[in-house]
């Protein structure tokens, strides 16, 4: 996702998008400490001191962090709005779509349906932590090879559920993959490509569908 | 989300005290464990707590302990862990299957047994803030409205169906529920834990505002019985049962000594079928007997305007669950 925009060689798409949204919130963020992890990400939102808040220590993508959070913040809000990890998406914000899936202590959970304050002492992995800026994981490469993403909005969630599956079951069948991805909706309907990708990443060759779609 | 304070409880007694203190100060308080249901209710402003009492840190809350064949399960165990637990899978398979059938992996990883049992109904009128019995009002909008997923047994004045998958299995296993409240501990049978709307239309069980469901015990008498949880959904994954059946058969060779048949998705509480159980007791479980048991399962059922399909569906689910439990 770091391709250069054709007319602005110095800007990546992510930086451009983050920059435009940053302009909208720059006044609000001016007083806060900026904790952006992702280059060019929007400035972090700050805790409103008038709202119940807590300090937690958690590990995010291998980095231990002490973070102040409002008690009402979801983990998804902490990751995106405070830590700048916008690879985690918020779709329904009700624990129904799976776009916000991250790993907590290696288990996939809906980050929109877990409070940030409950993550004290926990280990969180987001899509940014899969390859940590290095080469893509075999699973991510399989997603690319199989055109798994269409619009891409659900993709990071699909990756996290599939990553957890492969850790527990390195050579899953198509049925195993379907069960593991049951909590990740894809409005583009690209389920078969997702299943094929994960089966392939596990070394399997059997396609979930005959021929192309 | 609205603002609230998160209070971490160390033990059930402290959780109860936190709730009592909040209520005494005029604040709305809710217990929370997995949070999947509770946060959805807060986001929809169905409830508006000032204090969340977090039960995730309760000590030993997710332990499974065995004693002479009986098993005590901490209410804080995740549904995923419960579904994979060796003792539960081998000795109480209906409960393991029910836990494994809930929602999605993401929800089973954080959702707890206690929370699954005590979750609020998923009636669309309730969840959309209609002033129904569950929202403090005095009518049930489903009765003359969109009732295709509503009750065919035990309805009135509210026609919600109990949404839990584990609850029918627990009732079929003669589970008892240990509750810690302001006046100490008490243990309640499954029969008394769940309450019909005609007893209390505002809630689905006996838990008071300051009560914590701590653990659930399964009796030794049910250990090793054959069991099955058969769940029919309106799509292949990720929803509540349209109709489900938990069947537990205590066998003596190929003769059924005693049976438990409990339905989910059809009544405001897990719906036990004593007549069907009596039909099976003392008999060889033949295909024909299963058909007759299915036919008997809807005695007394009353369809609403849009859910008559649940009658034949229930017959089929009961028949299949019995045959699958028999093996």
**Close Cβ partners of A136 (under 8 Å, ≥ 6 residues apart):** A130, A144
Domain ranges of chain A: 4-128, 138-201
Q: A138-201 has which CATH code?
A: 1.10.150.120
Local confidence band at A44 (pLDDT 50, 70, 90 cut-offs): confident
Topology (CATH) of B225-326: Enolase-like; domain 1 (3.30.390)
Are residues B56 and A94, on separate chains, in Cβ contact within 8 Å?
no
Whether the CB-CB separation of A162 and A148 falls below 8 Å is answered with: no
Give the three-class secondary structure for B36.
helix
Are residues B40 and A94, on separate chains, in Cβ contact within 8 Å?
yes
Topology (CATH) of A4-128: Ubiquitin-like (UB roll) (3.10.20)
Are residues B106 and A71, on separate chains, in Cβ contact within 8 Å?
no
Q: Give the closest of B3, B40, B103 to A52, CB-based.
A: B3
Distance CA A34, CA A43 (A): 6
Interval B127-137: pLDDT, tens: 999 999 999 99
* Burial of B33 (C-beta count, 10 Å sphere; 0-12/13-18/19+): buried
Whether the CB-CB separation of A92 and A155 falls below 8 Å is answered with: no
Q: Does B76 lie at the interface with A, CB-CB under 8 angstroms?
A: no
Local confidence band at B111 (pLDDT 50, 70, 90 cut-offs): very high
- Mutation for A interface: B104, B112, B122, most A CBs within 10 A: B104
- Three-class secondary structure assignment of B159-200: CCCCCCCHHHHHHHCCCEEEEEECCEEEEEEHHHHECCCCCC
Q: B1-54 has which CATH code?
A: 3.30.43.10
Interval B37-64: pLDDT, tens: 999 999 999 999 999 999 999 988 999 9
Instruction: Supply the pLDDT for residue A20.
Output: 53
Residue A35 scores a pLDDT above 50: no
Q: What percent of chain B has pLDDT over 70?
A: 100
Interval A113-167: pLDDT, tens: 999 999 999 999 999 999 988 999 999 999 999 999 999 999 999 999 999 999 9
Q: B64-119+159-221 has which CATH code?
A: 3.30.465.10
Which helix (H) or strand (E) covers residue B65, if one does? Answer: strand B64-67
Interval B15-40: pLDDT, tens: 999 999 999 999 999 999 999 999 99
Q: Does B65 lie at the interface with A, CB-CB under 8 angstroms?
A: no
Give the three-class secondary structure for B226.
strand
Domain ranges of chain B: 1-54, 64-119+159-221, 225-326
Q: At what angle do helices A138-145 and A155-168 cross, to 10 degrees?
A: 130
- Token pair recorded at residue A199: 């089966």
Give the three-class secondary structure for B125.
helix
Residue A207 scores a pLDDT above 70: no
Interval B285-316: pLDDT, tens: 999 999 999 999 999 999 999 999 999 999 99
Distance CA A191, CA A185 (A): 8
Q: A160: which chain B residues are within 8 Å (Cβ-Cβ)?
A: none
């Amino acid at each position: 996702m770091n391709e250069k925009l054709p007319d602005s060689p110095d800007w990546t798409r992510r930086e451009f998008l983050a920059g435009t949204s940053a302009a909208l919130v720059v006044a609000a963020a001016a007083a806060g400490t900026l904790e952006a992890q992702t280059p060019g990400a929007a400035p972090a939102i700050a805790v409103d001191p008038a709202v119940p808040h807590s300090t937690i220590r958690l590990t995010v993508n291998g980095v231990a962090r002490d973070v102040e959070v409002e008690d009402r913040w979801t983990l998804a809000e902490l990751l995106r709005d405070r830590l700048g990890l916008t690879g985690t998406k918020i779709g329904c914000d009700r624990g129904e779509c799976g776009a916000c899936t991250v790993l907590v202590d290696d288990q996939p959970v809906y980050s929109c349906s877990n409070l940030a304050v409950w993550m004290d002492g926990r280990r969180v992995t987001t899509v940014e932590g899969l390859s940590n800026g290095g080469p893509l994981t075999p699973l991510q490469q399989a997603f690319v090879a199989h055109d798994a993403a269409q619009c891409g909005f659900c993709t990071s969630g699909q990756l996290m559920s599939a990553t957890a599956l492969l850790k527990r079951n390195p050579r899953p069948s198509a049925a195993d993959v379907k069960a593991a991805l049951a909590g990740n909706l894809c409005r583009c309907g690209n389920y078969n490509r997702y299943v094929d990708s994960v089966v392939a990443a596990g070394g399997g060759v059997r396609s979930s569908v005959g021929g192309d779609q | 989300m609205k603002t609230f304070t998160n209070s971490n409880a160390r033990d059930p007694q402290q959780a109860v005290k936190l709730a009592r203190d909040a209520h005494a100060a005029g604040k709305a308080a809710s217990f929370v464990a997995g949070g999947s249901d509770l946060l959805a209710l807060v986001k929809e402003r169905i409830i508006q707590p000032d204090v969340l009492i977090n039960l995730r840190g309760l000590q030993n809350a997710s332990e499974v302990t065995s004693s002479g064949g009986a098993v005590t399960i901490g209410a804080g165990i995740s549904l995923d862990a419960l579904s994979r637990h060796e003792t539960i899978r081998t000795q109480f398979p209906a409960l393991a299957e029910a836990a494994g059938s809930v929602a999605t992996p993401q929800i089973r990883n954080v959702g707890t047994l206690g929370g699954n049992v005590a979750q609020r109904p998923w009636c669309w009128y309730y969840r959309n803030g209609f002033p129904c019995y569950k929202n403090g009002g005095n009518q049930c909008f489903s009765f003359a409205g969109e009732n295709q997923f509503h009750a065919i047994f035990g309805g009135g004045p509210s026609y919600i169906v109990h949404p839990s998958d584990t609850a029918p299995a627990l009732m079929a296993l003669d589970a008892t529920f240990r509750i810690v409240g302001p006046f100490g501990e008490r243990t309640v049978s499954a029969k008394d834990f769940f309450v019909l709307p005609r007893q209390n239309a505002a809630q689905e069980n006996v838990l008071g505002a300051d009560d914590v469901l701590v653990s659930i015990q399964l009796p030794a008498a049910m250990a090793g019985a054959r069991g099955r949880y058969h769940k029919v959904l309106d799509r292949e994954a990720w929803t509540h049962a349209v109709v489900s059946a938990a069947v537990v058969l205590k066998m003596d060779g190929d003769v059924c000594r005693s049976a438990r048949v409990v339905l989910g998705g059809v009544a405001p509480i897990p719906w036990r079928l004593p007549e069907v159980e009596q039909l099976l007791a003392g008999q060889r479980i033949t295909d024909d007997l299963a058909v007759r048991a299915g036919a008997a399962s809807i005695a007394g059922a009353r369809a609403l305007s849009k859910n008559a399909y649940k009658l034949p569906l229930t017959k089929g689910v009961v028949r299949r669950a019995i045959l699958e439990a028999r093996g």
